[in-house]
Amino acid sequence: MDLTAESFLTYLAQTTDSPYLISIDRAEGLYLYSPDGKRYADLISGIGVTSVGHRHPHVIEAIRQQLDRHMHVMVYGEFIQSAPNLLARKLTSKLPAGLNCCYFVNSGTEANEGALKLAKRHTGRTEMVSFRKSYHGSTHGSMSVSGNEVKKQAFRPLLPDVAFINFNVEDDLQHITERTACVIVETIQGDAGVRVPSKRYMKLLRKRCDDTGAMLILDEIQCGMGRTGTLFAFEQFDIVPDILTVAKAFGGGLPIGCFVANRDVMRDFTHDPMLGHITTFGGNPVCCAAALATLEVIENERLLEKVEQKGKYFESLLTHRGIKEIRRIGLMFAIDFESADVVSRIVEEGKKLGVICYWFLSHPYSFRIAPPLTITNDEIKESAALILQAVENAYIRS
């Protein structure tokens, strides 16, 4: 075992000058544990991943069973394997009829890369429309359609022919035209600080795509898998995307992403060129087994039914003079304070008290709460008290 900060800081590439730096010995349900026995309530689910809690027994058992049969045997799309078969059947059974074909990849950004390529290939068009303040991933294609200009500047040139419009602004929809291959949008903007669009807007967006022949890609990498109270957030807006992307919580703690589309559209990857999208590890059977078990947990434990009630209860406990605004849908929260500085102090104080909250990429004066959907009312009560204590300490020490 090596839990030294020295190894971490010296031999692992760093992405920030102030990493969180807690040492993890093990994790269970809502909690992470350090080797010294200190317990942390993980209120961000490893950034939207462990929605059925850390190490859910049903997920672990499915992984074990798959390990006993086989791990990787072949690149994506050649051998018949049970885990991806079962997962694709299960996932599509929970989606509208048109979304009946899955392409499994390894992460969120890859799901979006595949979706963008599919839209370009299928429409024969080049323009992609995206949204200011959106986040779709950190590889070149997904970064090109992400809205945070500061993060992109150093990596130009990026993909050409990307247009940005404002989220939830009806007038901007006119920029979607017959030149547009696709519109990529988070159903709920996550890293912009939990922005929920109106139902009317989402329906107009769908209609504009229909009228112009642009494909609508809904990125539910952060807001999917029950986080908002329905398995997918788009169910609450009465629209259906042409392509849906998922990742994060999909794997129940293992890395897997997916883009889902209609079988006829997906067939475009088989010709002109053949192997239009390829991946070595996509559809990894261990990850697929974990994802299938995760869907089963959501179903068997009827988690969706309780998301809104838990979200409401949690929100009702969050009262403090420093809180400027709370935006919430289901168990996805953004809590605004007066400045980014206050938020980083709260995160620091939370760390001392044993509660993990975190900021947003494109919205630093807010922190996020996205606890596992399995969180109990007692855990909510205890967690909310810890958060309020962290907030109070941050104000006292300011």
* Residue 190 interacting with ligand PMP (CB under 6 A): yes
Angle between helix axes 377-396 and 340-353 (nearest 10 degrees) is 120
* Residue 108 interacting with ligand PMP (CB under 6 A): yes
**CB-CB contact of 64 with 225 (8 Å):** no
* Residue 136 interacting with ligand PMP (CB under 6 A): yes
User: Residue 106 CB, nearest distance to ligand PMP (Å)?
Assistant: 8
Region label for 275, one of left (φ > 0), alpha (ψ between -120 and 50) or beta (otherwise) = left
> Sign of torsion, CA 240 200 336 338?
positive
* Residue 372 interacting with ligand PMP (CB under 6 A): no
**Residues in 137-166 at the binding interface with ligand PMP, rule: CB under 6 A:** 137
* Residue 186 interacting with ligand PMP (CB under 6 A): yes
**CB-CB contact of 213 with 265 (8 Å):** no
Phi and psi, residue 70, nearest 5° = -165, 155
* Residue 84 interacting with ligand PMP (CB under 6 A): no
**Residues in 37-66 at the binding interface with ligand PMP, rule: CB under 6 A:** none
**CB-CB contact of 194 with 334 (8 Å):** yes
With respect to ligand PMP, which residue has the nearer C-beta, 220 or 379? 220
Choosing from 45, 51, 100, 109, the residue that interacts with ligand PMP (CB under 6 A) is 109
Total residues interacting with ligand PMP, rule: CB under 6 A: 14
The Cα–Cα gap between 204 and 218 comes to 14
* Residue 135 interacting with ligand PMP (CB under 6 A): yes
Look at the block and give the residue holding tokens 């961000």.
44
- Residue of closest CB approach to ligand PMP: 108
Choosing from 51, 100, 107, 123, the residue that interacts with ligand PMP (CB under 6 A) is 107
Q: What angle do CA 392, 393, 397 make, to 5 degrees?
A: 120
**Residues in 214-253 at the binding interface with ligand PMP, rule: CB under 6 A:** 219, 221-222, 247
By CB under 6 A, name the binding residues for ligand PMP.
107-109, 112, 135-137, 186, 190-191, 219, 221-222, 247
